[in-house]
């Protein structure tokens, strides 16, 4: 039984106020400030002006911006889609119907990387990829001379770090999705002589398709906002080699103090997030 009540909406007041002040207002400010020359230093600091689409014109002509969009795409595709989503699925699939203790141990190890705070992940990974780090020790056993991973392959390093940190989430989502597939369907297919690959292709994947799509959107959104991991591992460098959009935004706003420009970049980031978020909601088929 659902009732109507005039007073009940009062319970929403604290949440609505907080969301209004700290969520809606900043989004509106983003839209306003993006069209100004706001800066903390220089002549623009005293003389705040509406400059129309100037920031955006500058942005699209800025080679640094274009390449950071490209880097963000590379980071998203390799660390979110291919890394976390695919590796998470493979892990969940391989762990299915394995020895319980073995399953649990592998699960704990993978989840440990997820529970570890981003900043500690960054520290572990800097050590792991450093010149005298574990990775070079290991390749040394095979007679390969050490590689300066963070200098020669900085993008690869941050992508691997993000995969290490994030895969557990996808793995857990897929594990619970795979557990819900009734056993007899796959058994029936086996008896009918279907190969493992065919079962995977025509039965398992279609049955968890919903989880895959929703998870992919969620992971993409999370990865889009990744700042801490990249900033603390490489600072966006060497040079600008790992400067993705959030790091580029940070550098423009908080290092160069070009707030107007920085906000314009945030707006682009926000718009990408809004589009991805709408896709995410569509993929969930929510009922409210």
User: Least CB distance from residue 25 to another protein, whole Å?
Assistant: 7
Of 112 and 205, the one with the shorter C-beta distance to another protein is 112
Q: Tell me the window of 46-54, 64-72, 93-101, 149-157 that interacts with another protein (CB under 8 A).
A: 93-101
**Phi and psi at residue 141, in whole multiples of 5°?**
-60, -25
Assess contact for 145 and 60: CB atoms under 8 A: no
User: Considering the rule CB under 8 A, would residue 248 count as an interface residue with another protein?
Assistant: no
User: Least CB distance from residue 68 to another protein, whole Å?
Assistant: 14
Helix (H, G, I), strand (E, B) or coil at 142: coil
User: Considering the rule CB under 8 A, would residue 230 count as an interface residue with another protein?
Assistant: no
Q: Tell me the window of 5-13, 53-61, 72-80, 148-156 that interacts with another protein (CB under 8 A).
A: 5-13
Sign of CA dihedral 7, 8, 11, 13: negative
Of 159 and 218, the one with the shorter C-beta distance to another protein is 218
Assess contact for 42 and 258: CB atoms under 8 A: no
Q: Give 43's Cβ-side CA count (13 Å radius).
A: 1
* Tally of CB atoms within 10 A around 17: 10
Of 67 and 213, the one with the shorter C-beta distance to another protein is 213
User: Considering the rule CB under 8 A, would residue 240 count as an interface residue with another protein?
Assistant: no
User: Considering the rule CB under 8 A, would residue 172 count as an interface residue with another protein?
Assistant: yes
User: Least CB distance from residue 262 to another protein, whole Å?
Assistant: 5
> Using CB under 8 A, which residues numbered 118 to 137 contact another protein?
118-121, 123-128, 130-134, 136-137
User: Considering the rule CB under 8 A, would residue 242 count as an interface residue with another protein?
Assistant: no
User: Least CB distance from residue 103 to another protein, whole Å?
Assistant: 9
- Report CA-CA distances (Å) from 3 to 7, 177, 233: 12, 35, 53
- Site track 178-217 with another protein (rule: CB under 8 A), x = hit: -x----------------x--------------x--xx-x
Assess contact for 267 and 30: CB atoms under 8 A: yes
- Where would I find the beta strands (DSSP E) of 55-201? none
**Phi and psi at residue 36, in whole multiples of 5°?**
-120, 170
- Site track 254-273 with another protein (rule: CB under 8 A), x = hit: x----x--xx--xx-xx--x
User: Least CB distance from residue 49 to another protein, whole Å?
Assistant: 16
Question: How many chain residues are in contact with another protein, going by CB under 8 A?
Answer: 102
> Using CB under 8 A, which residues numbered 45 to 74 contact another protein?
none
User: Considering the rule CB under 8 A, would residue 11 count as an interface residue with another protein?
Assistant: yes
As beta bridge partners, residue 50 has: 36
As beta bridge partners, residue 36 has: 50
**Phi and psi at residue 179, in whole multiples of 5°?**
-65, -20
**240: Cβ–Cβ under 8 A, 6 or more apart, which residues?**
64, 67, 68
Of 75 and 259, the one with the shorter C-beta distance to another protein is 259
**217: Cβ–Cβ under 8 A, 6 or more apart, which residues?**
276, 279, 280, 283
User: Least CB distance from residue 24 to another protein, whole Å?
Assistant: 9
User: Considering the rule CB under 8 A, would residue 85 count as an interface residue with another protein?
Assistant: no
């Amino acid at each position: 039984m659902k009732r109507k009540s005039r007073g009940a909406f009062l319970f929403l007041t604290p949440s609505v106020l907080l969301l209004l002040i700290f969520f809606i207002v900043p989004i509106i400010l983003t839209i306003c400030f993006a069209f100004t020359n706001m800066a903390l230093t220089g002549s623009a600091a005293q003389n705040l002006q509406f400059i129309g689409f100037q920031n955006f014109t500058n942005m699209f002509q800025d080679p640094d911006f274009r390449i950071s969009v490209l880097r963000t795409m590379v980071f998203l595709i390799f660390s979110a889609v291919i890394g976390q989503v695919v590796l998470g699925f493979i892990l969940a699939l391989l762990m299915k119907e394995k020895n319980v203790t073995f399953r649990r141990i592998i699960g704990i190890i993978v989840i440990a990387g997820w529970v570890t705070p981003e900043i500690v992940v960054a520290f572990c990974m800097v050590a792991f990829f450093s010149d005298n780090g574990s990775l070079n020790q290991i390749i040394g056993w095979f007679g390969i001379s050490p590689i300066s991973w963070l200098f020669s392959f900085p993008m690869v390093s941050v992508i691997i770090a993000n995969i290490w940190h994030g895969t557990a989430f996808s793995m857990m989502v897929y594990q619970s999705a795979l557990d819900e597939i009734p056993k007899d369907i796959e058994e029936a297919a086996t008896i009918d002589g279907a190969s493992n690959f065919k079962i995977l292709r025509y039965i398992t994947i279609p049955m968890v398709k919903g989880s895959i799509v929703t998870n992919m959107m969620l992971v993409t959104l999370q990865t889009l906002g990744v700042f801490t991991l990249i900033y603390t591992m490489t600072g966006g460098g060497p040079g600008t080699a790992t400067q993705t959009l959030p790091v580029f935004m940070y550098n423009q706003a908080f290092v160069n103090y070009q707030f107007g420009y920085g906000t314009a970049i945030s707006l682009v980031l926000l718009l990408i997030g809004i589009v991805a978020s709408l896709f995410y909601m569509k993929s969930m088929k929510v009922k409210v």
